[in-house]
Amino acid sequence: MRPPVHEPLPSPIVHPPRGDLPVLLSVPHAGRDYPDWLVAMARGGLQSLLPLEDPLVDRLVWRALGEGIAAVIARAPRAAVDCNRAEDEIDPASVHGQPMPAGRPSARARGGLGIVPSRTARHGNLWRRSISLPDLEQRLAGAYRPYHDAVAANLDALTRRFGCALLLDCHSMPPAAGGAAVVFGDRYGRSAAPWLAAGASRIAAKQGFSAAINDPFAGGHVVERHGAPHLGIHAVQIEIDRRCYLTDTGEPGREFDRIAVLIKTVAVELGSQLLEQRLDTAAE
């Protein structure tokens, strides 16, 4: 079966490093370039797809970019393809004709949040029809793989230059009663040395934010795939409560720039500490 003929999904925006820190930012869920064909497939139109976004997180990283920190930012919307899921994390309700490998689909995919999201709590089933494997392949080739290729290439360049690298994967989260304003996830120490998430938590607390580590978000596919602490590549996920930077109507709030400062400070301070540690080790 041929994939449908439609405009391709946009490839990610890549900001190469311009400074002297081994840090890369990843923003996989803030894409909002919705092609007409995707909106036409949605039962509830564009409004049913918007809740999948991490709204305006791509703008929250502006201060870090100003420090010369590198970044890979998705432009394709999460509704089309989710860069924070594995390629085989497929919900059969959204993609037909896929033989399921052992252990799949995952609980997240069964819940409607696979590599192609199929439903949300607010809007129910999202799509008028499921897509074919060739259609999925088109989305993977156009947006998903270029995203991960860019992340991998930048981490490789930073590691070759500095001997180490830190990936900060930036997200937002809905409010949780009694929950922390910021959650740092390192896959329980598997994607990064534990002192990095602990240091990020201290930075957040110093700036007046309540912070948690790995609860309730321990990190997704981006940090799991690219973090390799044994090779000097560390990956930490950042989840920010949307109340910290958005108004009730979804516009930038009064504290928007305060969150931008937090992301910049985490990137700069942890990057500096990681580089210092690397240099100290090399000098021994």
| Token representation of residue 198 | 């602990």
Residue 159: closest CA among 101, 248, 47, 235: 235
In a domain, 172, yes or no: yes
> Domain containing 66: what range?
13-85+142-283
In a domain, 76, yes or no: yes
In a domain, 5, yes or no: no
Q: Bridge-partner residues for 183, per DSSP?
A: 212, 239
In a domain, 204, yes or no: yes
pTM: 0.94
Q: Indicate the number of domains in the chain.
A: 1
Residue 267: closest CA among 25, 6, 1: 25
| Token representation of residue 279 | 């240099």
pLDDT digit of tens for each residue in the chain (284 aa)? 454 557 889 999 999 999 999 999 999 999 999 999 999 999 999 999 999 999 999 999 999 999 999 999 999 999 999 999 999 999 888 888 766 555 566 778 778 889 999 999 888 999 999 999 999 999 999 999 999 999 999 999 999 999 999 999 999 999 876 789 999 999 999 999 999 999 999 999 999 999 999 999 999 999 999 999 999 999 999 999 999 999 999 999 999 999 999 999 999 999 999 999 987 666 55
| Token representation of residue 74 | 């998705």
Q: Give the contacts of 72 (CB within 8 A, at least 6 positions apart).
A: 12, 13, 14, 15, 24, 25, 26, 27, 147, 150, 151, 154
In a domain, 272, yes or no: yes
Residue in this structure with the two tokens 């088109």, named with its chain if needed = 138
What is the Cα–Cα distance from 269 to 264, expressed in whole angstroms?
8
In a domain, 217, yes or no: yes
Q: Yes or no: say if 238 and 29 are a contact pair by the CB < 8 Å rule.
A: no
In a domain, 7, yes or no: no
- The predicted pLDDT at position 1 comes to 45
Q: Give the contacts of 34 (CB within 8 A, at least 6 positions apart).
A: 46, 49, 77, 79, 80
In a domain, 117, yes or no: no
Question: What's the CATH number where 157 sits?
Answer: 3.40.630.40
